Amino acid sequence: MLEEWKVIGHVPFKQKNINQKFNKIIDALFSKMNISPQESELLKYGNKIQKLKEDDNQEIAIHKERSFIKKKIEESKNEIRQLENNLQFFSDDSENNPLVQDVINRVEKHKEALDSWKTKLKKLNILRNNLEKDAEVENDTTEEE
């Protein structure tokens, strides 16, 4: 289904709610299949990787995506650091405090997001390395002829 949606192409900004509705339906289907939100996120990201692979300006597109992901990784790390620092101001017996619980939950969510961003970066690096190897093989083949 994701492949068919991808074939349709870019959704105009005025109709972006169609994309949001589609993603909600896909998320619901993944949920019924007992696929975690993180796994579904990575499955969807596979489509983005494929788009980058087919992009006319591959190098630029991959560079922009890598920069974006690295920025998100840094933001997640900073947020985790800040929240964990804030937790140090509470005493150990305050774990039942709703505020402390909220901060702990937010730290966990940011850690999950950080793991997801790191996995996406790995996938992107693999794509980049494979494309570089393909280009080298192509150059070697051309030089031999």
The answer as to whether 27 is a domain residue is: no
The answer as to whether 114 is a domain residue is: yes
Q: Would you say residue 2 has pLDDT above 80?
A: no
pLDDT (tens digit per residue) in 75-102? 999 999 999 998 888 776 677 888 888 9
The answer as to whether 36 is a domain residue is: no
pLDDT band at 5 (very low <50, low <70, confident <90, very high): low
pLDDT band at 137 (very low <50, low <70, confident <90, very high): confident
- Among 41-55, 89-103, 117-131, name the most confident range: 117-131
The answer as to whether 32 is a domain residue is: no
The answer as to whether 44 is a domain residue is: no
Domain count along the chain: 1
Is residue 18 a contact partner of residue 10, using CB atoms and an 8 Å limit?
no
Q: What is the residue-averaged pLDDT of the chain?
A: 84
Cα dihedral 68, 1, 32, 124, rounded to 10, equals -20
The answer as to whether 10 is a domain residue is: no
Among 73, 66, 65, residue whose Cα is nearest residue 113: 73
Q: How big is the CA angle at 53 (ends 70 and 66), to the nearest 5 degrees? A: 5
Domain limits for position 113: 56-144
